Amino acid sequence: MNGIMVMGTASDVGKSLVCTALCRLLANDGIRVAPFKSQNLSPYMEYAVDGTPISRAQFIQAEAARTQPTADMNPIILQPGADGTLKGTFCGQPLEPASGMAYRDVYYERAIQAIEQSLDSLSTSFDALVIEGAGSPVEMNLRARDIVNMRVAELADVPVLLVADIDRGGVFASIVGTLELLQPSERNRVKAIVINKFKGDSAGFQEGIEFIESYTGIPVAGVLPYKANHGIAEEDTEKPETPETQAPSGTDPYEEWSEHVLQHINWPLLKGIIGVEGASR
């Protein structure tokens, strides 16, 4: 299938917002696009058209893609309980509370089947998928039961865009370290890198871009300036957003955010990676 999977060097690097922008940009190019995230761990839910709970992030991304949110876009959503157990919805059905270890051991095969079914269903209705990963793809203690990162990229057979947050520091080590810990076949899927949350004049980062591209052999597809007032609800925060994060009145936050991203990425490169390079704005 045509598509791309957005992974991060860590949690909270901006994967969800990058996916949101890609959904709107593809939709603006006339591509029937759908978001997907296999499993989401979040206390905040929205509802698909059939009433099934899904993650707020995929609900938002569906809006950005100008399509109706469906259960296939987020087949597994979990909420952490106060006692350390997980509960939630598994393929539209309530999940019995279980510890993290028990969940990974008991539900792994069933989760893989559910992910495959959702991907197959979406691929019959859409031209491209924008798939979001979770956390980091190199959490070594979780790799054997991975259902959110490289295992999903393999099931969907899509390339990977790696997002790194420069605002937290250590961006070079986080990129290089992530790539070094991937298996060769996994690393080969990473076709581009995006640097997110840059503050200041990005022209001064040119040497950094040259180092990353020279050291890794992977192109930097963009350096995204930090933008506080994007107006899009965050996945793991209460609504409404604070005034500082609200988009100007009367604007379409998805359009504003995607245009912001478009100004700072190599969109033809990313479209070629996704497999829709023939589309145009």
Question: Is 8 in contact with 125 (CB distance < 8 Å)?
Answer: no
Question: Is 186 in contact with 35 (CB distance < 8 Å)?
Answer: no
Q: What pLDDT is attached to residue 247? A: 53
Q: What is the mean pLDDT of residues 104-130?
A: 93
Q: How confident is the model at residue 82 (pLDDT cuts 50, 70, 90)?
A: confident
- C-alpha 102/C-alpha 240 separation (Å) is 35
From 20-34, 49-63, 225-239, the region with the lowest mean pLDDT: 225-239
**Would you state the torsion angle of the CA atoms of residues 57, 111, 134, 238, taken in this order, to the nearest 10 degrees?**
40
Q: Both tokens of residue 194?
A: 């995006």
With H, G, I as helix, E, B as strand and everything else as coil, classify residue 138: coil
Q: What is the mean pLDDT of residues 135-160?
A: 96
Residue type (1 letter), 266: N
Question: Taking all residues of the chain, what is their mean pLDDT, rounded to a whole number?
Answer: 91
How large is the C-alpha radius of gyration of the chain?
A: 18
- In order of their start, the domains of the chain are 3-270 (3.40.50.300)
Q: How confident is the model at residue 229 (pLDDT cuts 50, 70, 90)?
A: confident
More confident residue, 210 or 83: 210
Q: How confident is the model at residue 44 (pLDDT cuts 50, 70, 90)?
A: confident
More confident residue, 97 or 142: 142
Q: What is the mean pLDDT of residues 220-249?
A: 73
Exposure of 101 in the CB half-sphere (CA atoms within 13 A):
1
Q: If you average pLDDT over each of 13-22, 39-48, 87-96, which comes out highest?
A: 13-22
Which of 96, 102, 131 has its CA nearest to residue 19?
A: 131
Task: Please report, for residues 93, 212, 222, the alpha-carbon distance to residue 33 in angstroms, rounded to integers and kept in the order given.
Answer: 26, 30, 21
217: left (phi over 0), alpha (psi -120 to 50) or beta: left
Q: What pLDDT is attached to residue 243? A: 47
Q: What pLDDT is attached to residue 87? A: 83
Q: What pLDDT is attached to residue 240? A: 47
Q: What pLDDT is attached to residue 244? A: 45
Q: What pLDDT is attached to residue 97? A: 78
More confident residue, 78 or 68: 68
Question: Is 10 in contact with 196 (CB distance < 8 Å)?
Answer: no
Pairing of strands 128-132, 39-41: unpaired
High-pLDDT (> 70) share of the chain, %: 93
Which of 262, 263, 36, 261 has its CA nearest to residue 128?
A: 36
Q: Both tokens of residue 14?
A: 């901006």
Question: What is the pTM for the complete model shown?
Answer: 0.93
